[in-house]
Structure 1
Amino acid sequence: MRGRESAGSGASELPDGQALVAGRYRPLRLLGRGSMGVVYEADDAQLDRRVALKVLSAVEGLGEDSEAWDRFVRESRALARIDHPGVVTLYDSLAQTGMGKPFLVMQLLDGMSLADLMSVAKRLPLAAVCAVALGIAEALTAAHEAGVLHRDLKPSNVGITRDGRVVLQDFGMARLAGEAAITRAGVTVGTPQFMAPEAIRGASPGVAADWYGLGACMYLMITGDMPFGDAAEVGTIVERALSGGVPRLSVRPEAGPKWLTSLVDDLCEKDPARRPQDVQAIRGLLEPNAEGGTEALVELLNRDVREGAVRAATDASVHDEGLPEYDWEQADITPAAPGSGPDPFHPATLSSATRRIVLASMTAHSALSRQREAANLVLRGQVREAAEMLSVVVPVCLSSLGPDHPTTLTSQYWHALCLARLGAGAEAVELLSRVNKRVVGSTDRDEENRDDD
């Protein structure tokens, strides 16, 4: 099964062979792994579309006659009631027979998580902070009106799509995983850096806990720092959260305008009764200052994709010159940080399963098929996906087929087009120049051979 080898410790989450989950969903590649489960990109064989398939491995031993199953069904139905562009769409929920683990089938989004965006940008400009915060607030309001709490709002659960839309995921799933974990080991599941103090103490979180999560995310976006610093020890973070709380921003003039820093301070109050929950008031502060924020987010995402595509083209140019064996291990997927959570907004470029498939099947014919698939992605406007695919296909073509092979040259042409679409014009021209030199050189050699004949 594609994507299975890359799952590491989560490989057993899925059935062996080419079997479909529930006779319908075929996992293709690993997107992320965290405390609650594993997320795969999957193909919906019935509707012929790509989806995100989440395996909730934290909820084990789930039978359709159990109380846990009833909770899972209730949470799924509640999530399905939310109809808002800022909340990921749930398509299906099910349990694989004999596996005892539930699955969620959700909308597959293109973009990156706020966590990954912050690792690239470090700090966000004011308009972008307001745009993200406003998007989160609107999504939370829609969920609360539908009777659904998030319970685990954190940057890795906040997605920014390629067009700058803010989308939340994992509503209510922390409750399922948390109850299962408490039953098994007497521990609480959550992320202390962004977890409301009352939830850390073991109290059932309410609406105010979600607003605390918004404030903690805003703190990260404004300062570039985690709310409780770089502490990695959970005990240290919990102690800081329950004692001093999130450091106040309003005492730091360099952090931003007073209205913004005061809003973050209010949202991060340790006492849930003192946190603002009036979305109209929050919107009134954020909306006038969010102008241009969506465009800033789009540019940040495009910059990351563009730089990745340029790096891939540069690496490929090394192979073009010396044609060494392609370094598959270097290109392999980087494991998610422990506790970081599944991140379907920022999928890995190349999983080990994809690597093996490509390496094993890279004939002139199969390479041509993949190149055509990438070209179709470009024509459909899915430039990021095309660039990722070509970053695999081009080096393999160079190593396996040679720099003068038509499929290699055509793949490089489409890679250059991706660079141009992503705004890397100079790099695109350079790559096209290399392609043209190869084409001209090949034509000259053909003419010389004909003359010799």
Structure 2
Amino acid sequence: MGGADEDGLVAGRYRPVRLLGRGGMGVVHEAEDTRLDRRVAVKMLTAVEGLPGTSEAWDRFQREARALARIDHPGVVTLYDSGVHDGTPYLVMQVLDGVTLADLVADGEPLPAEVACTVAFGVTEALEAAHQAGVLHRDVKPTNVGITRSGRVVLQDFGLARLAGEVAITRTGALVGTPQFMAPEAMRGALPERAADWYGLGTCLYLMITGELPFGPTVDYGAIMELALGEGVPRLSGTRWDCPEELCRLVDDLCRQNPVLRRRDPATIRGTLLPMSYGGTERLAEIVGGRVRDDAVRDAHAVPPVPAPVSRAATVEEAPEYLWDEAAVLPAQREVPGDPFRPVTLSDATRRIVLGSMTPQSALSRQREAVNLVLRGRLEEAAQMLSVVVPVCLSTLGPDHPTTLTSRYWHAVCLARLDARRDALKLFADVNRRVARRTDGPDD
């Protein structure tokens, strides 16, 4: 993790575990708070690294962090701590178990209307709470809308937040935000106001309803800005989209180019969304649970690549407790040319990197970590870790080794608890068959 101490800690306290995301302002890792023994998300704001602790910019950063900490709402990610580490500002936040809205729309299919309205309703409440605290989000987009397995919507990544009326902490002349979801006035260089956040909500709703990005799949910033400042977001009212007309009108109003004409009263926005969101939370929870389950099953059945040779010295010493660096994320998300919100699974590349440095001893250590995660109910993390550990065991220890069998057993437990019962039963059956063969074999 960039900026970590020699002992691997950020600010002498936070130990990185795995990469959660990367954006224009910085990089976010899940980390262990070694003082309070809890999971957190640490965002290093690398876009403004080199910030001296006594500068005016540092004072503004501190004021922004304090403003974020004032927001007490279940729909806004909680800020725990902030500071500067080796000249790079960092924020320490609540880490969420679930997926992002970008994950849910990655296949290009529209979401059910009640689900889209439920997500938008949650974002509306979160934005209202932030605005009442004097905080603008400035980057409302699908990757910044988190959804837990219970269907709770949480607006996250306020790394671009700016206190209303203050100068943003950005590089001079930098384009801050994502053009597909950026308000036209921000593109023109004006200081965005609350209306810009509501525009972001409108473009997210457009994506949920249509399954398409507002300005098509192009990643050409110039082309996107030309469309945004020209024709604007295509209107939904009276078009082919199978969507309640009132919801289409709301999207059109939120996406108006002129911020003065844009709908921006949270009470009226909620009033439009609420009647159409009936049953949406339950359906949303089902979709999120299915996505998490599918990811776990995919990782369980991934074909393990051939590992790199391991030196004799490496098989003697126990590996560090954490080997999960920026490359070792399963699955990882990044924007793809031609489809900025389709997730790319780096499973094969990741496994090659991890397998090349993981020894049988460190695999056993990871297995123990994974079992602890299962026992603590952190099933997605455990499944991801075991999807790397199992191939190591298979290739270095063999399919009938006790460590391999134990790892596969706990992987099956994860799948079963994530409701992938059919795949779990197959894995349990294979493990039981191999255990029986070991027990009955002449060599045991």
Whole-angstrom CA distance in 2 between matches of 1:357 and 1:41: 21
Is the CA contact (8 Å cut-off) linking 2:135 and 2:162 kept in structure 1?
A: no
Q: Would you say 1:431 and 2:442 are equivalent positions?
A: no
Query: What's the offset of the Cα at 1:297?
Result: 2.0
- Counterpart in the other structure of 1:167: 154
Whole-angstrom CA distance in 2 between matches of 1:100 and 1:376: 35
Whole-angstrom CA distance in 2 between matches of 1:264 and 1:207: 16
Whole-angstrom CA distance in 1 between matches of 2:10 and 2:297: 37
2:283 corresponds, among 262, 286, 296, to 296
Residues 123-142 of structure 1 mapped to structure 2, 5 A cutoff: 123-142=110-129
Residues 5-16 of structure 1 mapped to structure 2, 5 A cutoff: 13-15=2-4
Is the CA contact (8 Å cut-off) linking 1:153 and 1:214 kept in structure 2?
A: yes
Q: Would you say 1:393 and 2:389 are equivalent positions?
A: yes
Whole-angstrom CA distance in 2 between matches of 1:231 and 1:348: 23
SS at match of 1:42: strand
Residues 116-155 of structure 1 mapped to structure 2, 5 A cutoff: 116-120=103-107, 122-155=109-142
Is the CA contact (8 Å cut-off) linking 2:83 and 2:89 kept in structure 1?
A: yes
SS at match of 2:32: strand
Q: Would you say 1:239 and 2:257 are equivalent positions?
A: no
Amino acid of the structure 1 residue aligned with 2:407? S
SS at match of 1:122: coil
Uncovered stretches (5+) of structure 1, i.e. residues with no partner: 5-12
SS at match of 1:124: coil
Residues 177-216 of structure 1 mapped to structure 2, 5 A cutoff: 179=168, 181-183=170-172, 186-216=173-203
1:360 corresponds, among 358, 378, 384, to 358
Q: TM-score under structure 1 normalisation?
A: 0.85
SS at match of 2:92: strand
- Counterpart in the other structure of 2:32: 43
Amino acid of the structure 2 residue aligned with 1:384? E
Amino acid of the structure 2 residue aligned with 1:278? D
Q: Would you say 1:325 and 2:321 are equivalent positions?
A: no
Is the CA contact (8 Å cut-off) linking 2:382 and 2:414 kept in structure 1?
A: yes
Is the CA contact (8 Å cut-off) linking 2:253 and 2:262 kept in structure 1?
A: yes
1:228 corresponds, among 215, 221, 224, to 215
Is the CA contact (8 Å cut-off) linking 2:180 and 2:215 kept in structure 1?
A: yes
SS at match of 2:189: coil
Amino acid of the structure 2 residue aligned with 1:336? R
Whole-angstrom CA distance in 1 between matches of 2:353 and 2:285: 30
Query: What's the offset of the Cα at 1:134?
Result: 0.3
Whole-angstrom CA distance in 2 between matches of 1:332 and 1:368: 19
Change (3 A) 1:207 1:348: farther
Change (3 A) 1:202 1:330: closer
1:381-413 deviation line (CA, Å, top 9, x unaligned): 222112111111111111122111122112212
SS at match of 1:91: strand
Amino acid of the structure 1 residue aligned with 2:11? A
Query: What's the offset of the Cα at 1:327?
Result: 8.1
1:250-269 deviation line (CA, Å, top 9, x unaligned): 02143301000000001111
- Counterpart in the other structure of 1:278: 265
2:92 corresponds, among 105, 111, 117, to 105
Whole-angstrom CA distance in 2 between matches of 1:354 and 1:239: 42
2:335 corresponds, among 311, 315, 337, to 337
**What root-mean-square deviation, in Å, do the aligned CA atoms of Structure 1 and Structure 2 show?**
3.1
Query: What's the offset of the Cα at 1:222?
Result: 0.3
Uncovered stretches (5+) of structure 2, i.e. residues with no partner: 310-326
Q: Would you say 1:86 and 2:82 are equivalent positions?
A: no
Whole-angstrom CA distance in 2 between matches of 1:360 and 1:62: 37
- Counterpart in the other structure of 2:61: 72
The structure in which a higher percent of residues are helix is 1
Query: What's the offset of the Cα at 1:314?
Result: 2.4
Is the CA contact (8 Å cut-off) linking 2:203 and 2:255 kept in structure 1?
A: yes
Change (3 A) 1:419 1:439: same
The share of aligned pairs that are identical, in percent, is: 58
Which protein has greater RCO, CA pairs closer than 8 Å, 6+ apart? Answer: 1
- Report how many aligned residue pairs link the two structures: 422
- Counterpart in the other structure of 1:307: 294
Is the CA contact (8 Å cut-off) linking 1:94 and 1:104 kept in structure 2?
A: yes
Is the CA contact (8 Å cut-off) linking 1:135 and 1:166 kept in structure 2?
A: yes
Whole-angstrom CA distance in 2 between matches of 1:423 and 1:335: 24
Change (3 A) 1:39 1:350: farther
